[in-house]
Amino acid sequence: MTLTVSVDMTPGFGMTVSASLVAYARLLALSGTELDQAVAQELSENPALVQDEVDTCRGCGLAADGPCHYCGQEMSGVRIPTSRDVLQLAPDAGPVCAIAWADALMRDLMLVLPAHYARTAAVVIASLDDRGYLTEELSDLAAMAGTDVARAQHVVTTLRETGPAGVGARDLRDCLLIQIDRLAAVGVTSPCARAVVADHLDALARGATATIARRLGVPESEVTLARDFIRRELLPRPDIHADADAGSAPAGIQPDVAVIRSADHRGGFQVEVLEERRMLLRIDPLHRQVASVDSQVAQWVRRGDFFLARLRERWSTIRRITEYLLEKQPGLVIGEPAADPHLTRAAAATDLGLNPSTVSRAIAGKYVLLPSRQVLPFAAFFDGSRAVCADLEAILAAEDRPLTDSELCQRLGDAGHTVARRTVAKYRHRLRVLPSTYR
């Protein structure tokens, strides 16, 4: 028997991911701030790519030589970064980040404190963890701020009074007690809720309402009412991230897309991708001329053309999705962005002939400026959770014992909603309902 080895070539068809598709997907997923950074880096690395210098609007970042006709704000006088601004983005150029919750707390705190308390206030706020809990003792705070314990105590007390209910708490029990006192000040109370939280929180977590009632010397029904009050009115941590709600844009966000009325005032609308108008990028004509005789310059020009082509694809996709949203929800034009509960990213992708991941990338971290000058995240127009939240609220209202998130997930599945347990936990938090161990 003879063994032979041969190589045969068989033609066939297959799908491969091209370099242009990878670059397009990467650029599409970037937020406005990240895109500005990517453009600045490309400008610093490619001499053939240039960007015109213009004055920009503080509100939307558009080129402007006076009051902006989109948002009405004055120009900032700060130019868009060029290749000479290597990754040093101007403060007013391009999308800006939301005001951090710590900055917002500091701003509100200093509205009621004397100016010479600023250092102590900064130390106190810096000692809050991501839950809004205070992690340092008063003596340590005073030492870090170079002041006395009395001033540190005054700042903490003021923070608890002016910030979100529960901020500055030491632990869960302290957080709930602060919220109870805040609600009591406006007349929202429950007879024995404070006593339950202060002395019997662990028993409440175990569902031992009868034991708590016996220890407090009250009917079990009162403890049950206190449990319901705690579940309905209190949160396990202060709501310091309230501004990050999907239905509104955080303060300071600059939009990526503007929806404006047509010039004929006949009820039509026009979509402007603000990045496209703000980023005045082009290939330097001199480099394009030299490219025919210099291979290095030709490489720079090809790289610049490739980058600009991927940017145009990004802007075209964002424009198509925005126009689709306006067609599906014409109320947006008059500033009524009520989300269609049946409008999903998958449905938009099917209607537009796009991949669902493309739609998700295109809207992630991006914002729309409406004719009413209201800025909303794209995610607000795909809020398909309202029906799920309504059914979840009904299930919670009818429960005869605290249901775990897994059990709630199963109940929602029986009602026709396919959601993950983590998603149920998110919706439960949105409804201001505590986990089952604390209900």
Neighbouring C-beta atoms of residue 68, cutoff 10 Å: 20
Residue 257, classed as helix, strand or coil, is strand
Q: Read off the tokens for 241.
A: 């991230």
pLDDT at residue 152, as a whole number: 92
Tell me how far apart the alpha carbons of residues 7 and 245 are, in angstroms, rounded to a whole number.
61
Q: Read off the tokens for 407.
A: 């059990």
Strands 55-57 and 257-261: unpaired
Q: What is the 3-state secondary structure (H, E, C) of 191-209?
A: CCHHHHHHHHHHHHHCCCH
Domain boundaries, the chain: 187-248, 257-382, 386-438
Residue 260, classed as helix, strand or coil, is strand
Q: Read off the tokens for 33.
A: 């701030």
- Residue type present at position 59: G
Cβ-contact 371, 335 below 8 angstroms:
yes
Which residues contact residue 307 at a Cβ distance below 8 angstroms, ignoring those fewer than 6 apart? Answer: 23, 42, 46, 49
| Residue among 94, 86, 95, 90 nearest 40 (CA) | 86
- What residue spans of 132-192 are helical by DSSP H? 138-145, 149-162, 172-184
Residue 309, classed as helix, strand or coil, is helix
Tell me how far apart the alpha carbons of residues 162 and 108 are, in angstroms, rounded to a whole number.
7
Neighbouring C-beta atoms of residue 342, cutoff 10 Å: 9
Tell me how far apart the alpha carbons of residues 230 and 236 are, in angstroms, rounded to a whole number.
10
Tell me how far apart the alpha carbons of residues 427 and 439 are, in angstroms, rounded to a whole number.
16
pLDDT beneath 50: ranges in the chain: 74-99, 243-249, 251, 265, 335, 337, 339
pLDDT at residue 342, as a whole number: 61
Tell me how far apart the alpha carbons of residues 256 and 308 are, in angstroms, rounded to a whole number.
18
pLDDT at residue 78, as a whole number: 34
pLDDT at residue 317, as a whole number: 94
